[in-house]
Amino acid sequence: MKATVLGLIGLSFLFAQTGTDALKGDLRSLRGGASASVSSRQMSAHILAMAEGTHEPKAATVQQFADSLVSALAGHAPAQEELDAIAADIESAMHSAGKATSGVEATTQDFEKQLMKAGVQSMRAHLVASNLERVGKEVRGPADAPAR
């Protein structure tokens, strides 16, 4: 039983890592001028692959986020470290269930800063970051929403 549980945890980590690596590849392909529609669909699938169990956002929300990210990065050539930071922030949002709201907000703010470092205009970066925040809210669900 213990070996089975550890094996499942290992597989879960492997799939999450594969999704992260695939997302990094998607982001790199944007630098090379890949088709925005193909990249957006692929990116959406790779982001959804990072979801943890029952903490999966709606596919339409992730697609909207991916569309906005692909559109924002089109025509820019971000450095690899910026792409890695963007991917890490997306992964953090996908794994944000049960995390403090302040940590999630910090991730969203960092994501927005990384987009601006990549050459995305401030207002556009804010819009894309807002879409990532929506994805994170769906991952966390109503049980993780702050009390009012």
Q: What pLDDT is stored for residue 39 in this prediction? A: 80
Q: What pLDDT is stored for residue 7 in this prediction? A: 44
Structure-token pair, residue 85:
């930071």
Task: Give residues with Cβ within 8 angstroms of 124, minimum separation 6.
Answer: 72, 115
Residues in the chain: 148
- For tokens 């594969």, the residue is 18
Taking only the tens of pLDDT, the chain with its 148 residues reads 545 444 444 444 444 456 789 999 889 888 766 666 668 999 999 999 998 888 899 999 999 999 999 999 988 889 999 999 999 999 999 999 888 888 889 999 999 999 999 999 999 999 999 999 999 999 998 765 555 4
